[in-house]
Amino acid sequence: MKFLPTSDGERREMLAAIGARSIDDLFASVPAEVRRDPDLPPPMSEIEIRRFIGGLAKKNVNARDTAFFLGAGVYHHYVSAIADQMLYRAEWLTAYTPYQPEISQGTLQSIFEFQTHVCLLTGLEVANASLYEGASALVEALLMAERLSRGRTKAVLSAAIHPEYRETARTYFSNLGLELVEVPLGADGTTDARALAAAVDEKTFAVAVQSPNFYGVVEDWAAGSAAAKAKGALSVAVIAEAASLALLKPPGEGGADIACGEAQALGVPMHNGGPLLGFLSCRSEHQRQIPGRLVGETRDAEGRRAFCLTLSTREQHIRREKATSNICTNQGLMALASNIHMSLLGKEGLREVARQCHAKAEYLKGEIAKLRGYRLPYAGPTFNEFLVEAPEDAVGLLARLATRGILGGVPLSRFDPSDRRRFLVAVTEMNERVEMDRLVAALAGRDA
């Protein structure tokens, strides 16, 4: 087998050195009753693997071959070739957690740079080395706020936070004796500020609002922050479309104590929903309660700048059941991809991408609004994604569009089966005007 470098002759020498007659002898502690050969097909060569896996890949439609308008938490942005090429380098790909800083300065410095990018974009002072993805990042942010509150038991969430984030939070919170309360939307598609303020009380440890929210509407961070501060709770800002951070007011400026969410939009391919890239940043006074890995700057024995993992006393291999979180890995390679992507785009590019996404979405929104029978249910400002109400069942409509090579949006029935006619449309810098015009024509029932 080509991944096994030991020859039969070497194997015999090794067994002799061990003093065993056969490899089977080394498995003597495994009871015979539990041993069983697997019923799997014979080994495949590389050529056969390419046929097998390649055949499965061909059965999927992908964003590169279609007019593509799907979002709802995963976005089709451009990633420069160099970002992915860099990930192939063995020094990045085949290293592990930088526990040994002397031979891991590459990974450590890259994470330190990633942490800095996240701080600059979110307007907060400290960021961690990344988390799994957006939903678990929200959970970690809420649990962090709960620890900081010392005994409070309730989190108030906007109902316009991504439904799968909220469902994840319910799963995690179900057994911890903590309460989750959801606040509905107002008519313009933003979280009802009055209901939000009313839901927060002295038991509340966190108030979480997403912007742009799940329906694409831009929220004012200040509303959530004010409601939180009035009762001494922490304000948690949730971001699912991180490209927006280059155009919209950063959470830190809007009074948020913790920002968290999904940074896939900043340099990570869609990957059919994973791996993605969770992030979390906060004010420096809360840094000792931040979950997950952190890289800090320090010196080596000769006084040179160096980096290492730090504050590991918060982590589970030391604190065990008292740890700030059970998470052990971060999303190292995706954080690297994102660091490269953000560095390339930089100050100007990040803004330009955000502006193009927004301008194109505004164009498409305007064109759809003109169509007879279609309605834009929410009037609040949007960034690059917006909600549309169709004159018919959205699933059927979008399936018809798909046969013409247009993936026109994500039907909300996927999250709430009773929500039949509404769907989300996302636009990025990848969408050309001609594609948008084709979508509009197809929605209108005209041939495109």
- For the segment 38-77, give every residue that binds another protein (CB under 8 A): 38-44, 46, 48-50, 52-65, 68, 70, 72-74, 76
**Residue selected from 263, 340, 440, 442 as contacting another protein according to rule CB under 8 A:** 340
**Residue selected from 21, 179, 198, 273 as contacting another protein according to rule CB under 8 A:** 273
Stretch that binds another protein, among 28-36, 144-152, 193-201, 370-378 (CB under 8 A): 28-36
84 counts as binding another protein under rule CB under 8 A: yes
397: left (phi over 0), alpha (psi -120 to 50) or beta: alpha
330 close to 128: Cβ distance less than 8 angstroms: yes
**Residue selected from 8, 150, 151, 177 as contacting another protein according to rule CB under 8 A:** 177
Q: How far is C-alpha 256 from the geometric centre of its chain's CA atoms?
A: 19
Stretch that binds another protein, among 108-116, 148-156, 191-199, 226-234 (CB under 8 A): 108-116
In this complex, which beta carbon is closest to another protein, that of residue 363 or of residue 374?
363
418 counts as binding another protein under rule CB under 8 A: no
236 counts as binding another protein under rule CB under 8 A: no
Count of all residues that appear for the chain in the document? 448
**Residue selected from 153, 198, 402, 446 as contacting another protein according to rule CB under 8 A:** 402
x/- track of binding to another protein for residues 121-160 (CB under 8 A)? x-x-xxx-xx-xxxxx------------------------
Return the structure tokens found at 325: 């979180």
**Residue selected from 186, 255, 275, 391 as contacting another protein according to rule CB under 8 A:** 275
**Residue selected from 82, 198, 230, 379 as contacting another protein according to rule CB under 8 A:** 82
In this complex, which beta carbon is closest to another protein, that of residue 78 or of residue 198?
78
**Amino acid identity at 13:** E
**Residue selected from 8, 150, 347, 418 as contacting another protein according to rule CB under 8 A:** 347
**Residue selected from 243, 265, 350, 397 as contacting another protein according to rule CB under 8 A:** 350
In this complex, which beta carbon is closest to another protein, that of residue 104 or of residue 225?
104
**Residue selected from 180, 231, 255, 343 as contacting another protein according to rule CB under 8 A:** 343
* Residue 32 φ then ψ, to 5°: -60, -35
Name the nearest CA neighbour of 255 among 277, 235, 280, 230.
Answer: 235
* Residue 402 φ then ψ, to 5°: -65, -35
- Alpha-carbon span 334 to 134, nearest angstrom: 13
Name the nearest CA neighbour of 417 among 180, 163, 241, 185.
Answer: 163
Sign of the CA dihedral with 141 first, then 143, 146, and 147 last = negative
233: left (phi over 0), alpha (psi -120 to 50) or beta: beta
**Residue selected from 187, 230, 369, 399 as contacting another protein according to rule CB under 8 A:** 399
* Residue 387 φ then ψ, to 5°: -95, 140
Please state the closest distance from residue 270 (CB atom) to another protein, in A: 5
Q: Identify the helix (H) or strand (E) that includes residue 146.
A: helix 134-149
Please state the closest distance from residue 200 (CB atom) to another protein, in A: 22
Residues 205-224 close enough to bind another protein by CB under 8 A? 218, 220
In this complex, which beta carbon is closest to another protein, that of residue 30 or of residue 198?
30
- Alpha-carbon span 61 to 38, nearest angstrom: 33
Q: Locate tokens 């960034």: which residue?
A: 383
**Residue selected from 21, 194, 355, 446 as contacting another protein according to rule CB under 8 A:** 355
316 counts as binding another protein under rule CB under 8 A: yes
Task: Render 354-394 in DSSP notation, one character per residue.
Answer: HHHHHHHHHHHHHHHHTSTT-B----S-BSSEEEEE-SS-H
In this complex, which beta carbon is closest to another protein, that of residue 181 or of residue 247?
247
**Residue selected from 149, 204, 331, 428 as contacting another protein according to rule CB under 8 A:** 331
225 counts as binding another protein under rule CB under 8 A: no
Please state the closest distance from residue 129 (CB atom) to another protein, in A: 7
In this complex, which beta carbon is closest to another protein, that of residue 231 or of residue 287?
287
Edge to edge, what strands does the sheet with 422-426 contain? 385-389, 422-426, 410-411
Name the nearest CA neighbour of 207 among 239, 240, 238, 235.
Answer: 235
